[in-house]
């Protein structure tokens, strides 16, 4: 076997972890060990994993704070619903795939529209503008009416009456959202989407383009000085992130019978951002774990009812305080150094790792 670099090994572990989790869940559900509430969480978990990984591309890899990621998710969600519901005669999986693909494309277009003007701004200003765009997208979706009849799709920004439907169905009803969605999403579809999002992100990071993106994050001025087109690569990361969020949004929407635009508000953007920060900036595996744990946690605390969000808030604050405590941080570095020291002393774990050698 050839030499495997540290990052390749780390990526393989990430893939293996996802696959193993999927297999375990499948076995558990076949043998009837999965509770109803957990079964209902499986698709949302996949969605939030995809959302967290895609946001990590913007926040962790590109290094720009985005507070409007849910906006792209909602574009994908509502596009997906329109696509899937207007092609009734195709098979379920085909409709789902089309919904996800076209949802991703539309979110990507939104990403370009947002990104071109916005990415010139820096730091907190960029953050507030992404927040503003998220709110604008939500506000617009609150005022979009879409219906379908034998003549095709009808759009309006006023009300359902102005759609002039000829005995058709209303697909999107302004602030009432999408009322009659067919549940097409499955855990398998979610798992496949996670793998796709993961592959796209990890491959992008470890390529010529990904290096350029990370160069901008680490030092914009130096990146320019070696001839890297800042705007191009910022936009590339931002739009890719938007496409992946749009795809997750479509999967999410197709998991429910109805969905409201206000589901995709600032709080959802923040929720995903919390996954990214707690999982570690730029750490894709961390995002996956954080998204999973933090999606299950509020559900697991359901018994505590009114107190669960309070506990969530306290846990969030405490985690931030503890992980950023300089004393504990130094302590952890010491522990890691000790571990590394012992690992070097005892050669067998490295040998077992499949001939992995570091230069």
Partner 1 sequence: MSSKYIEVPSNAMLLERDIDKSPVLETMHLGIDFGGLTAVDEFNLTIGRTEIVGLIGPNGAGKTTVFNLLTKVYQPTRGTILLNGKETSGMNTVQVNKAGIARTFQNIRLFSALTVEDNVKIGLHNSMNAGMFSGILRLPRHWKNERVAHERALELLSIFEMEDLANHQAGSLPYGAQRRLEIVRALATNPSLLLLDEPAAGMNPSETAELMENIRKIRDTFQIAVMLIEHDMNLVMGICEGIAVLNYGKIIAKGTPEEIQNNPQVIEAYLGKQKEDGQ
Partner 2 sequence: MNLLLNLINGISLGSVYAIIALGYTMVYGIAKMLNFAHGDVIMVGAYICFCAMSYLNLPPLVGVVLAMIVCTALGMIIERLAYKPLREATSLAVLITAIGVSYFLQNTALLIWKSDPKVFTSVVDGWPGLKLFGGEMTISPVTIVTVLANIVIMVGLTLFTSRTKKGKAMRAVSEDKGAAQLMGINVNSTISLTFAIGSGLAAIAGVLLCSAYPTLMPTTGSMPGIKAFTAAVLGGIGSIPGAMLGGVLLGVIEIFGKAYISTQLSDAIVFAVLIIVLLIKPTGLLGKKISEKV
Task: By CB under 8 A, name the binding residues for partner 1.
Answer: 5-6, 199-200, 203-204, 206-212, 214-215, 217-219, 221-230, 236, 240, 282, 358-359
CB of 144 or CB of 281, closer to partner 1: 281
For residues 199 and 267, which CB has a smaller minimum distance to partner 1 in the complex? 199
Q: Are 335 and 325 in contact (CB under 8 A)?
A: no
Among 117, 349, 354, 355, indicate the residue that binds partner 2 (CB under 8 A).
Answer: 117
Q: For residues 64 and 189, which CB has a smaller minimum distance to partner 2 in the complex?
A: 64
DSSP class of residue 126 equals H
Helices (H), the chain: 6-30, 36-56, 69-86, 92-118, 123-141, 187-205, 208-218, 220-225, 230-253, 266-279, 284-300, 308-323, 326-345, 348-352
Indicate the residue among 36 and 359 with the shorter CB distance to partner 1: 359
Among 120, 336, 338, 357, binds partner 2 (CB under 8 A): 120
The secondary structure element, H or E, covering residue 239 is helix 230-253
Only one of the segments 3-11, 96-104, 139-147, 200-208 lies at the binding site for partner 2 (rule: CB under 8 A); that segment is 139-147
The dihedral through the CA atoms of 248, 251, 255, 258 has a sign that is positive
122: partner contacted, choices partner 2, partner 1, none (Cβ within 5-8 A by kind): partner 2
Structure token pair of residue 35: 């509770």
266 is a contact residue toward partner 2 (CB under 8 A): yes
- Closest distance between partner 2 and the C-beta of residue 113, in Å? 11
Are the beta carbons of 354 and 2 closer than 8 angstroms? no
CA–CA distance, 68 with 245 (Å, rounded to integer): 11
Contact partners, residue 215, CB within 8 Å, separation at least 6:
222, 223, 226, 228
- How far, in Å, CA of 46 to CA of 248, rounded? 8
Give the separation between CA 131 and CA 126, rounded to whole angstroms.
Answer: 9
277 contributes a contact to partner 2 by CB under 8 A: yes
228 binds partner 2 per the rule CB under 8 A:
no
Q: Does 176 participate in binding partner 2 (rule CB under 8 A)?
A: no
For partner 1, the closer CB: 57 or 127: 57
Chain residues that interact with partner 2, rule: CB under 8 A:
59, 65, 117-118, 120-122, 124-125, 127-129, 131-133, 135-136, 139-140, 142-143, 221, 266, 270, 273-274, 277-278, 281, 306-307, 309-310, 312-314, 316-317, 320-321, 323-326
């Amino acid at each position: 076997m050839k030499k495997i670099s540290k990052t390749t090994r780390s990526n393989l572990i990430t893939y293996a972890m996802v696959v193993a989790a999927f297999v375990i869940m499948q076995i558990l559900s076949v043998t009837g060990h999965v509770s109803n509430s957990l079964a209902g969480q499986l698709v949302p978990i996949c969605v939030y994993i995809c959302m967290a990984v895609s946001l990590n591309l913007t926040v962790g890899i590109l290094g720009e704070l985005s507070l409007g990621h849910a906006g792209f998710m909602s574009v994908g969600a509502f596009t997906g619903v329109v696509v899937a519901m207007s092609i009734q005669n195709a098979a379920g999986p085909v409709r789902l795939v089309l919904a996800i693909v076209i949802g991703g494309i539309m979110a990507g277009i939104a990403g370009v529209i947002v990104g071109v003007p916005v990415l010139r701004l820096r730091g907190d200003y960029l953050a507030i503008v992404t927040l503003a765009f998220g709110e604008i997208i939500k506000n617009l979706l609150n005022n979009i009416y879409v219906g379908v009849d034998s003549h095709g799709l009808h759009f309006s920004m006023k009300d359902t009456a102005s759609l002039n439907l000829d005995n058709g169905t209303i697909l999107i009803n302004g602030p009432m959202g999408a009322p009659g969605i067919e549940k097409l999403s499955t855990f398998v579809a979610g798992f496949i989407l996670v793998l796709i999002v993961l592959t796209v992100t990890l491959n992008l990071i470890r390529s010529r383009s990904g290096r350029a993106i990370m160069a901008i994050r680490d030092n914009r001025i130096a990146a320019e000085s070696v001839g890297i087109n800042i705007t191009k690569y910022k936009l590339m990361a931002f739009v890719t992130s938007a496409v992946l969020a749009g795809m997750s949004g479509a999967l999410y929407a197709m998991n429910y019978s109805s969905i409201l635009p206000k589901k995709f508000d600032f709080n959802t953007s923040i929720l995903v951002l919390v996954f990214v920060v707690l999982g570690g900036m730029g750490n894709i595996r961390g995002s996956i774990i954080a998204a999973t744990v933090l999606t299950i946690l509020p559900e697991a605390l359901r018994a505590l009812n009114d107190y669960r969000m309070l506990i969530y808030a306290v846990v969030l604050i405490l985690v931030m305080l503890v992980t950023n405590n300089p004393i504990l941080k130094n302590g952890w570095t010491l522990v890691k150094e000790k571990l590394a020291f012992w690992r070097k002393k005892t050669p067998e774990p490295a040998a077992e790792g499949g001939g992995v050698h570091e230069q």
